[in-house]
Structure 1
């Protein structure tokens, strides 16, 4: 909007980038804001500037959310604004969140933290948070767009959102995060109010659910503004089930010599994406309850504590923890075949997927062959686990512990 203090796309983009610089002191950060304004407009920024970080507010310590609030008070013009720059993916915690939140839709703690930080910043700057209060503008890139937009859709956190190359909003995530939206989905698609919603929501036709979500949030979408490069990987990923794009979108072709990745992702069959998603759901649910080891046990049936004991001394472990090994064997026998079937669905399409990348000029034939080979190795490792499982059954039935130890020295490992 032209009547804003930070009124141009260039100013907003540079403030967004500045929000990632955690090494600056507050004084240095404020000087940078002034310099950016002068460089972009040719005028001095006639406003008092204050900054406040999510770390100061003790927000995001558990979720991994990071953000900075910039308060501009142009007293002479009787105008003030708050800009909240939420950071995108910067570390492993963020990428773990990406899987759980945007691909699965079962995590939304960073979106909640975004709203909590905005409220904390308003309190810190001694501002009201009613309809006539100082406008709050969200600036974002990557994961931060999902956080800012989801917070806005759930809590009316922002007056305006401006993003560049953002991770798009996810209707599965909103189903679990926003009770009003969930009730509307249940009513429209005739879902029951049972725990089975957790599974049945993923069985709804993705295109129908996307269209419903876009219509449901169309009014709030008017305050969302995006600049998206056709070559950005997140734009390509946004064609997958779960994602939907809201707001006023300006598309930019930053590399006209390449067709962009989106058309390539669109060629991936939905059933393949669903297989990925179901694996991610298992990982998310289990790891939230007990970390990576719990996820391994849920997906593979492997109790890592028992595996570590077996690696140290198989005969002793079986003698002292027979019940643990027997239970793990039962779980492996139950889970590995289904997992292998799911992985084969993915690997059987890998050549198609990466051939399209090769045809578009993104990877060479040699790179394609290497990638397909690595995907195939995953399948081979699982088949090795099945073979190891068979040997474990023989050990349990025959008691030939020493034969197992010597014969499986170079077999698949966990």
Structure 2
């Protein structure tokens, strides 16, 4: 075991990788290992989650998610780790946040510009490796202190990744070579353009090979993509030898491997799971490189803004709109309201000379009040900034209108049916964009003249222009919302796109991969659960969710144990508060009686007379202490034994469920170990 992989099969790796999307815990890893091997996993298991460790990118969450699983038993020569990088998710924070993963797919992989998720993944892998090595060093010292001899075992690392995670894990391997081998499952291919930005030697090799004299990174996009692909795959051939791809032929990412800039490194196992279709590669092969180039240039242009400032920065770069712009609109509206507020009154005083007959004249300060209208200090500068930002939005939207036709053309090349689905939404989006451009142009023409002349300063007569600014803000907000709704409608409608594209999306998922790898008759998988089935003598198919049955069995035993502990505590409390307390009180009374009988003289003061001639020489106490009511004790004992029997019945019923499953699949000895899993 020391020299072989613990997660030795593709099926085990795929099932554990699927847990990354759900609940990757030590208990679930052990369960899956026992289900697949019939044995306990070796060594202790430690899990490191990326959200528990510091991020490399500090300004915002890049969207990277991953886990490292570490198996360690140094005395047995086991020191292995598995880095699992998660695939694309629709949104961060359980789907409520921005779609960081899909933005990285676009800007980082296809565009070749953004590097934030990859940098976070590399930082995470190195950070956890240092943590593991420190833990191993401490364990070695503990073993030596016990007087044992040990040869320190070097950490052996493996990588697993699905979808976007498959891209990240193999790109780390290409750049850093930290893993013994890598399994990339239905992966997004690595990108030449991204690697050129990350690997300085590779970039210079491209410059030399294709005679790029000014050595600008953006010039690489102009190189013939097929020639560039051939050169890059030869350049990274050695690094790719440790990368193995597990691919469902019909899945969606496999169909884009021929797109410009994508590499195919290492070995590949392709599984055909929908024999009735050839997959969607035949559609994707229709896409022209010309349209891909236009879109790639567009996303490459805006990738730096996304990498620097995340989703908000991308909005500013692509549309000219960000959160600061909406704050500016709010400030202008609030300042406009303040103009119509009543003026503030200030108090002053004017010296006045007063003459009084017979007393001469003297000067006094006569108080008075006067209204003062105060303009918000940033009122006029905010309007000027707003117009400037509006013109920026106009320019960005005009750029976008030049790209959308290429995007529509690309969709049309893939599928006319798909084009029909999204075309109406794109036209609505273009209508909103055009209305916004026209509104900005008209408002800027009206207001800009006054701003340039400086006639705006403290001049309330320009209120019509001020209202124009506010109206434009409302238009931008409304049309911007319409654009966002159109974009969301495209996502919603294409989610329902059926046929071979629906098969491709389903084939991409980990559950489909796991079931495709399963070669054992009589079992399949639903999520991370193992389903066992067999044919009964009457022809019916009996199915058992074995993973669920084990969870129910263990949960049932845990509940029974909790009840037993509660019942034991209840009985202990009964004896403490009633039986033992009664005996304690009786003993105190008896001790007092014995004390009186042994020392009668000490109790003379209790006599009704106070004569000194009267002496107490003997005290004899006739005691009678009533015991606990037998019915009280019988009632308690009856309840106790009834509850005890109910617990035993529950345990027996749970055990019968386990026994019936074991008997049903008696040929599989690993089932008993599953029920004993703790």
What TM-score results when the alignment is normalised by the length of structure 2? 0.52
Name which of 390, 404, 408 aligns with 1:347: 408
**Are 1:99 and 2:106 counterparts?**
yes
| Whole-angstrom CA distance in 2 between matches of 1:13 and 1:303 | 40
Q: Does the CA contact (< 8 Å) of 2:159 and 2:179 recur in 1? A: yes
Residue by residue, what CA displacement relative to the aligned partner does 1:16-60 show, whole Å, maximum 9, x if unpaired? 1223334x6xxxx33332322222123343433333333444346
**Are 1:52 and 2:34 counterparts?**
no
| Whole-angstrom CA distance in 1 between matches of 2:388 and 2:209 | 43
- Once the two structures are overlaid, the 10-residue window that deviates more, 306-315 or 98-107, is 306-315
SS in 2 for 1:383: helix
Residue by residue, what CA displacement relative to the aligned partner does 1:353-397 show, whole Å, maximum 9, x if unpaired? 331xx4xxxx6xxxx533221122223333223322442344247
Q: Does the CA contact (< 8 Å) of 2:189 and 2:257 recur in 1? A: yes
Q: Does the CA contact (< 8 Å) of 2:162 and 2:187 recur in 1? A: yes
**Are 1:395 and 2:450 counterparts?**
no
Q: 1:140 to 1:326 in 2, by over 3 A?
A: closer
| Whole-angstrom CA distance in 2 between matches of 1:20 and 1:166 | 15
Residue by residue, what CA displacement relative to the aligned partner does 1:320-373 show, whole Å, maximum 9, x if unpaired? 545435534654565444432222232345444331xx4xxxx6xxxx533221
SS in 2 for 1:105: coil
| Whole-angstrom CA distance in 2 between matches of 1:67 and 1:56 | 10
Q: What is aligned with 2:423?
A: 372
Deviation at 1:174, TM superposition (A): 0.7
SS in 1 for 2:39: coil
Residues 12-411 of structure 1 aligned to structure 2 (within 5 Å): 12-22=13-23, 29-59=25-55, 62=58, 63-73=62-72, 78-90=77-89, 91=92, 92-126=99-133, 133-192=154-213, 196-197=216-217, 199-292=218-311, 294-301=313-320, 305=324, 320-321=381-382, 323-328=384-389, 330-331=391-392, 334-355=395-416, 358=417, 369-396=420-447, 401=465
Deviation at 1:151, TM superposition (A): 1.0
Deviation at 1:208, TM superposition (A): 1.6
Q: Does the CA contact (< 8 Å) of 1:115 and 1:151 recur in 2? A: yes
| Whole-angstrom CA distance in 1 between matches of 2:117 and 2:311 | 20
Q: Does the CA contact (< 8 Å) of 2:56 and 2:123 recur in 1? A: no
| Whole-angstrom CA distance in 1 between matches of 2:124 and 2:472 | 57
Deviation at 1:163, TM superposition (A): 1.9
Deviation at 1:309, TM superposition (A): 5.3
Residue by residue, what CA displacement relative to the aligned partner does 1:74-125 show, whole Å, maximum 9, x if unpaired? 6676444221222222333323332331122112233333333333333333
| Whole-angstrom CA distance in 2 between matches of 1:115 and 1:306 | 35
SS in 2 for 1:125: helix
SS in 2 for 1:166: coil
SS in 2 for 1:232: coil
Q: What is aligned with 2:561?
A: none
Q: Does the CA contact (< 8 Å) of 2:107 and 2:113 recur in 1? A: yes
Q: Does the CA contact (< 8 Å) of 1:206 and 1:242 recur in 2? A: yes
Q: Does the CA contact (< 8 Å) of 2:64 and 2:120 recur in 1? A: yes
- Show structure 1 runs of 5+ residues with no match: none
Larger Rg: 2
Q: 1:313 to 1:232 in 2, by over 3 A?
A: same
| Whole-angstrom CA distance in 2 between matches of 1:99 and 1:180 | 25
| Whole-angstrom CA distance in 1 between matches of 2:221 and 2:78 | 46
SS in 2 for 1:387: helix
| Whole-angstrom CA distance in 2 between matches of 1:309 and 1:191 | 45
| Whole-angstrom CA distance in 2 between matches of 1:277 and 1:314 | 42
| Whole-angstrom CA distance in 2 between matches of 1:171 and 1:39 | 40
- Once the two structures are overlaid, the 10-residue window that deviates more, 111-120 or 158-167, is 111-120
What TM-score results when the alignment is normalised by the length of structure 1? 0.81
| Whole-angstrom CA distance in 2 between matches of 1:202 and 1:4 | 41
Measured on the aligned residues, the alpha-carbon RMSD in Å equals 3.5
- Once the two structures are overlaid, the 10-residue window that deviates more, 314-323 or 60-69, is 314-323
Q: Does the CA contact (< 8 Å) of 1:112 and 1:151 recur in 2? A: no
- Show structure 2 runs of 5+ residues with no match: 93-98, 138-152, 337-377, 451-463, 481-678
Q: Does the CA contact (< 8 Å) of 2:169 and 2:184 recur in 1? A: no
Q: 1:408 to 1:254 in 2, by over 3 A?
A: same
| Whole-angstrom CA distance in 2 between matches of 1:303 and 1:72 | 46
